Amino acid sequence: MASAARTLRERLLAKINQRASWRWAKRGLYFLLFIAVFANFIANDKTYYSEYQGEWHAPLFRAIAVDLGLASWPADQATWRWYEIEELENVYWPPIAYSPRRIDLYQKFQSPFAKQQVERWAFRHWLGTDGLGRDTLASLIWGTRIAMLIGIASMVISSIIGLFLGSIAGFFANDRWLTTRAQRVGGTIGLLCGIYWGFIVRRPVLDLGSTANYYLTAILLLIGLTLLGSYLGRQLTPRSGHIRPLPLDDLIMRGIETLNAIPALLLLLAIVAVIKKPTLLSLILILGLLRWTGIARFVRGELLRVRSLEYMQATQVMGLPPALALIRHALPNALGPVYVAVAFGIAGAILVEAGLSFIGIGVPEDIVTWGMLLRNARNSASAWWLAIFPGLAIFLTITVFNLLGEAISEEVN
């Protein structure tokens, strides 16, 4: 009885700790998303509302509308620096009256606890400044948006690729995707045409302005022409013999093993080094195209189990098309491990981006990231706040997503 009671108590404590971790992780995630979405309203060097020469202005809201392409600046206001206008009346500033690009020439490497030369408390640098006089707290807030965007967007791309390839490998395996000889020949011809047109001929013909866009469209052409060739082969010879199963599972798994055999960091650095003009989109695409293998393996393993269950065999007896059975009945029951992989993957993508920014590659220099702040800390060993606060932000963000992953894993299991 004593051992049974002890076991029950341990289970209850574990359940309480799990719920507490889940609750705090959700709160942390909501907080990070709030900061990322409303960064413009939290830290900005433009006012919410102010009056100047008898007219009212809302430059912060106009700036957002201009960025979205919904408005434009008046000709006389396009170059105004609102924080330098002394005649403003009825002024309402954001909580942090600085943007990441605003430079305070009189406050370089300013410690957060030192006496600062500011007119009022609203203009104080609460977390200090870097070597150019940029506010650290404003940079942290805007860097949160970049971190969330890279982490979530790259894992969306990885999830789409992993779900697609993992579903095909696990559900159809090596025996359910039947093809004729004409289909195989047409698919092979389409594959060769995709390689030739997408990677060889198109380069001097089309200038897409970005290496990432070039390779993305090349991959889409490769896939599209391969599917088109297979479809045309089937339509041209619908009654052709020599029907054989296509070993999709072996083909996809060999591709995953080949990709995993290459060290991820070296492959990432090699790809980033090839891109002449790195952009935020190019980094998101690269991370998304390199981190899908884990999701594909999870989905494949679950679908290999699900496809042998009785209700899936019933769909075959009822004559339900395989693709419809996969989407409606098999895939929803195999998504549990995917949620766990996505949560951990977002944390990993944020950490990779911070590492790339720290060594000075990956994203353009005009984009503020946490890794860039850490890189600025190398310019002065005494500027401890440039290393402590960005490092703490990275640590807490990764902890939040790791807690989410562990909590989801407990729920799934």
Cross-strand partners of 245: 178
Weakest-pLDDT range from 76-90, 169-183, 234-248:
234-248
CA distance 41 to 39: 5
Give DSSP secondary structure letters for 249-304. HHHHHHHHHHHHHS-HHHHHHHHHHH-SS--HHHHHHHHHHHS-HHHHHHHHHHHH
- Domain assignment present for residue 10? The answer is no
Whether residue 149 is predicted with pLDDT greater than 90 in this model: the reply is yes
Q: Could you tell me which of 390, 198, 369, 356 has the C-alpha nearest to residue 264? A: 356
Q: pTM of the full predicted structure? A: 0.85
- Domain assignment present for residue 5? The answer is no
Element (H, E) at 348: helix 336-358
**Burial of 142 (C-beta count, 10 Å sphere; 0-12/13-18/19+):** buried
- Domain assignment present for residue 3? The answer is no
What is the domain count for the chain?
3
Average pLDDT over residues 232-257: 78
Residues 203 and 69 in one domain: no
What are the tens digits of pLDDT across the range 264-299?
878 888 877 777 777 888 889 889 988 899 899 989
Q: Which residues of 395-411 are buried (b: 16+ CB within 10 A; e: fewer)?
A: eebbebbbbbbbbbbbe
**Per-residue pLDDT at 146:** 94
Q: Of 224, 245, 266, which one is at a domain's C-terminal end?
A: 245
Domain encompassing residue 410? 17-44+101-177+247-413
Residues 268 and 170 in one domain: yes
The residue with greater pLDDT, 253 or 215, is 253
Whether residue 207 is predicted with pLDDT greater than 50 in this model: the reply is no
- Domain assignment present for residue 8? The answer is no
- Domain assignment present for residue 182? The answer is yes
Amino acid at 348: G
Residues 371 and 289 in one domain: yes
Best mean pLDDT range from 41-50, 66-75, 308-317: 41-50
What are the tens digits of pLDDT across the range 313-334?
788 778 788 778 888 888 888 8
- Domain assignment present for residue 2? The answer is no
8 A C-beta contact, residue 331 and residue 166: no
Kindly report the average pLDDT of the chain as a whole number.
84
Task: Taking the CA atoms of 306, 309, 310 and 312 in sequence, report the sign of the dihedral they define.
Answer: positive
Residues 54 and 150 in one domain: no
